[in-house]
Chains A and B, each alone.
Chain A
Amino acid sequence: MLLPLLLGFSATMLNHAYQRSLRSAERDALHHQIYILLGAAEPGDKGLQLPPVLAEPRYSSVNSGLLAWVVGTAGRVQWRSRSSELIPDLDMPRITTAFNPGRLQFFSAWVEDKEYYAISYDTVWDVNAKERGYRFVVMQSREPMLNELKAYQKRLWRWLGGLAFLLIIVQTLIAKWGLSPLRKLAADLEKVEEGLQQLPGVYPAEIQPVTDNLNRVLRSEQAQRERYRNTLSDLAHSLKTPLAVIRGHLESRQNLSAENLAQMVDEQVSRMSSIVDHQLRRASAQVTHAGRVNAVPVKPVIERLVRALRKVYQAKNIDFQLNIPTPLSFHGDEADLMELMGNIIDNACKYGNHSLAISAAQEGNDLSLRVEDDGPGVAADVQQTILTRGARADTATPGQGIGLAVAVDILSSYGGSIDIFRSRLGGAGFAVRIPN
C-alpha cells in the first residue's frame, strides 16, 4: 500500500530536480552565448559589426535552434545570425522592456510554433566616438531540452515502474512464504475438525508454542470427552440395575405388601440417588490436572472446613488439633482440596468422639495430609472396601462410604493415594499423599 505512494513521490522529486538542473544548464549556455557575441562584436563605420562566421557553428546553419541578433535602441536590427535568416522580421519577438544598459533578461518566446528560451543583454558601445546602445538577444530552441526531459521521464517511469512491480512480487512472495505455516495450520485445524486427533507435523519455531498449546487443549478436551462418555455410560448402566429391580417387582406381580413395595422403591431410589451423586462428584473432580499451576495454601482451606464442621458437630464438642505449616501449598484446584479434605474430616467427625488431629507436611515430592480420630477405628477387613468403593457405584450401598469414595476419586485424578492406619488417638487415621 505504501510502496506505490513512496515510489510516486520519489519519481516526482527526481523529475523536479532534473528539470531544475536542465533549466540552470540552459541559462548558463545562453549566458555563454552572450559572451561569445560580445567578444565577436566590433564597432565599425555603420555601427556595431559582427563577423559573418562566429566561433559557434550553430549561428551559421539555418534551423540550428540557436538564434541571435542585435537591435539598436531605435528598434532597427543591426545584425542577425544566419541561423535566423528564414524567420521573417515580423515573427521575431519584440522586446518591450525599456533599454537599460547592463541589464540581463531571460524570457520565453514562441517563434513559428517552437518554444525558445531567450536572453537579452543591453550594452552601450563607443562607435565613431559616439555612444550607441545595442541590445544583444540570443534564443535557443527548447526542443532538445524538452526531448531530453521527456526521455528522462520515460526512463524514470520505466525504472520505477519496474522496481515497483518487482517489489510487489517480492513482497507477495515473502508474505506467501511467511504465512505458509499458518495456512498449513488452518488446513490442519480443519482436519482436526473432521476427526484428526492432533495437529500433525512440525511447524516453524515461531508458531510451535501456539500449536503445542493447541495440541494440549485438544488432548485435554479429548480426555474430557472420553471421561464424559465413560461417566455417561457408567451412569446409564448403573441406573439400569435399580430400574430393573423395580420393574421386575412390578411385572412379576409378587404379593408384596404396600409397605414392602414402598420399602423396595425407597431402597432403589436411594441407590439411584447415590449413584447420580457419585457420578456428579466424580465428573467434577476428574478434570485434567495437566496445567497444575496455581498454588493453593493448605492451611486456610483446612481452617475453613474445621470452622464449618465445628458448627455442624457442635453437639459433639470436638477438639481439633491442627498442625499445618503456614507456607504449605497444594498445587491444584482449591475445590478439589476442599472436597477431598472435607470428606475425610467429615468422616472423622462422624466416627470420632471428641478429639481430632489434622496434620500436613511436604514430604519430598509429595504433599502428606493426615486426619486422625479417637473413634472405634476401621476394621482391617473393611479397610479395603471403603477405599475402593465408588469405583463401581452401582454396587455401593447407599449412605456408606460415599464421601470417602469421592476422596479416592479425587486422589486418583491427581495420582495420589490414601492409607488407613491406627491412630495414636485410638481411632482411625487416614494418610493421604498427593504428588505436589
Chain B
Amino acid sequence: MRLLVVEDEEAIRKQLVEFLAQQGFAVDQAADGRDGLFYAKEYDYDLAIVDIGLPVLNGIELIQKARAAGKQYPVLILTARGNWQDKVQGLEAGADDYLVKPFHNEELRARVNALIRRASGHASPKLEFGPVVIDTAAKSVTRNGEHIELTSYEYNTLEYLAVHAGEAISKTVLTEHLYQQDFERDSNVIEVFIGRLRKKLDPDGSLQLITTLRGRGYRFNPDFQAMAKAQGN
C-alpha cells in the first residue's frame, strides 16, 4: 500500500511517515500544497493524508484539484482547528474522513485502514478466504487459525492482492504500491515475494490462492472467496 503524506510541519510529517512506514506502508511525502498536488496527480495512491493548513496551496484546494484530475483514492484530512466548518469544507472538497490534531497514532492507523478497506469495498477489517484469514487491522494472517509469520513486504503484497481480489495486478502496479517514490524498484523481488507467499500460505499447493497471469501479472483467486461470509453484514 502506497500512501501520500502532505504536511508542512516537519516534526509531525516525520512522525507520520515514520509511523506509517512502520505499519508497512510505502510513503511519499510533501511539505507544501504545490508539491503535494504534483504527487497527488502523478501517482495512484491507496490513500492520501492531507493537512488543511498548507503553504502555497491549501489542503482543500489540493484535494479539489486532485479530484478534478480524476483521482479517486481516499483522502484523510488533518485539521488543527477541528471546527465543523473546516471539516465540512474538507469533506465537501472530496476528502473522505478527518482527523483532528493532535491525534493518537492508533487513531490514525484505524482511520487509514478503515479508509483503505472502504475504498476497496470491504466493510470488515478481516478478509476471509476459506481457511485463510487476513486481518488488515492487526496486519496478521492465519490459516485454519494458525498464525503465519510474514515479513512486512510479504504481508503488503498479499494484502494488496487480496484487497483487489479477482483483479489482474501487474508487477509494475504492485511495485508502485509497495515502494515509495525514492526507492529503487526491482520487479524480480515481486516474484520472490509471490513465491514465498505461496510457500507459506499454501505449502501443499492445494489452495491455489495466487494465480500467475502470463504477461499480465498476478491475481488473487476470486473463486476461492468466501466473500459473503467475510462481508458479514
Closest-CB distance, B2 to chain A (whole angstroms)? 22
Q: A311-B97, A315-B123 are in contact. Are A339 and B91 (CB under 8 A)?
A: no
Closest-CB distance, B162 to chain A (whole angstroms)? 19
- The answer to whether A284 touches B83, judged by C-beta atoms less than 8 angstroms apart, is yes
- The answer to whether B88 touches A339, judged by C-beta atoms less than 8 angstroms apart, is no
- The answer to whether A315 touches B114, judged by C-beta atoms less than 8 angstroms apart, is yes
Closest-CB distance, A304 to chain B (whole angstroms)? 5
0 or 1 for each of A268-285: is its CB under 8 Å from B? (1 = yes): 011001000100110010
User: In chain B, what residue has the closest Cβ to A313?
Assistant: B97
- The answer to whether B84 touches A339, judged by C-beta atoms less than 8 angstroms apart, is yes
- The answer to whether A304 touches B83, judged by C-beta atoms less than 8 angstroms apart, is no
Number of residues of chain A lying within 8 A (CB) of chain B: 21
Closest-CB distance, B52 to chain A (whole angstroms)? 14
Q: A277-B82, A339-B85, A343-B84 are in contact. Are A312 and B118 (CB under 8 A)?
A: no
Which of the residues A270, A273, A281, A311 comes within 8 Å of B96, measured between beta carbons?
A: A311
> With an 8 A cutoff between CB atoms, is A307 at the interface?
yes
Prevailing SS type, chain B contact patch: mixed
Contacts of A304 in B (CB 8 A): 88, 92
> With an 8 A cutoff between CB atoms, is B102 at the interface?
yes
User: In chain B, what residue has the closest Cβ to A341?
Assistant: B84
Q: A312-B97, A315-B114 are in contact. Are A342 and B92 (CB under 8 A)?
A: no
> With an 8 A cutoff between CB atoms, is A308 at the interface?
yes
- The answer to whether A273 touches B102, judged by C-beta atoms less than 8 angstroms apart, is yes
> With an 8 A cutoff between CB atoms, is B98 at the interface?
yes
For the complex, give the distance between the alpha carbons of A315 and B118 in Å: 7
> With an 8 A cutoff between CB atoms, is B87 at the interface?
yes
Q: How large is the interface on B (under 10, 10 to 19, 20 to 34, 35 or more residues)?
A: 10 to 19
Closest-CB distance, B123 to chain A (whole angstroms)? 6
Q: A304-B92, A311-B91, A342-B88 are in contact. Are A281 and B118 (CB under 8 A)?
A: no
- The answer to whether B88 touches A335, judged by C-beta atoms less than 8 angstroms apart, is no
User: In chain B, what residue has the closest Cβ to A338?
Assistant: B84
Contacts of B88 in A (CB 8 A): 304-305, 308, 338, 342
Counting residue pairs across A and B whose Cβ atoms lie within 8 Å, the total is 45
> With an 8 A cutoff between CB atoms, is A326 at the interface?
no
> With an 8 A cutoff between CB atoms, is A314 at the interface?
yes
Closest-CB distance, A220 to chain B (whole angstroms)? 22
- The answer to whether A342 touches B87, judged by C-beta atoms less than 8 angstroms apart, is yes
Instruction: Tell me which of B83, B96, B102 has the highest count of chain A C-beta atoms within 10 A of its own C-beta.
Output: B83
- The answer to whether B91 touches A312, judged by C-beta atoms less than 8 angstroms apart, is yes
For the complex, give the distance between the alpha carbons of A280 and B79 in Å: 14
Closest-CB distance, B233 to chain A (whole angstroms)? 9
Contacts of A338 in B (CB 8 A): 83-85, 88
0 or 1 for each of B60-101: is its CB under 8 Å from A? (1 = yes): 000000000000000000000111110110011000111010
Q: A273-B102, A315-B118, A315-B123 are in contact. Are A308 and B91 (CB under 8 A)?
A: yes
- The answer to whether B85 touches A335, judged by C-beta atoms less than 8 angstroms apart, is yes
User: In chain A, what residue has the closest Cβ to B87?
Assistant: A308
0 or 1 for each of A259-303: is its CB under 8 Å from B? (1 = yes): 000000000011001000100110010000000000000000000
Closest-CB distance, B73 to chain A (whole angstroms)? 15
Closest-CB distance, A367 to chain B (whole angstroms)? 18
For the complex, give the distance between the alpha carbons of A342 and B86 in Å: 11
Contacts of B87 in A (CB 8 A): 308, 342
- The answer to whether A342 touches B123, judged by C-beta atoms less than 8 angstroms apart, is no
For the complex, give the distance between the alpha carbons of A280 and B82 in Å: 10
Contacts of A343 in B (CB 8 A): 84
Closest-CB distance, A312 to chain B (whole angstroms)? 5
Contacts of B114 in A (CB 8 A): 315
A/B interface sample: 22 pairs, CB < 8 A:
A273-B102, A277-B100, A284-B83, A304-B88, A304-B92, A307-B91, A307-B92, A308-B88, A308-B91, A308-B92, A311-B96, A312-B91, A312-B98, A315-B114, A315-B123, A335-B83, A339-B84, A339-B85, A341-B84, A342-B87, A342-B88, A343-B84
Given A281-B82, A304-B88, A335-B85, 11 more A-B residue pairs with CB atoms under 8 Å apart are A277-B100, A280-B81, A308-B92, A311-B96, A312-B96, A315-B123, A338-B84, A339-B83, A342-B87, A342-B88, A343-B84
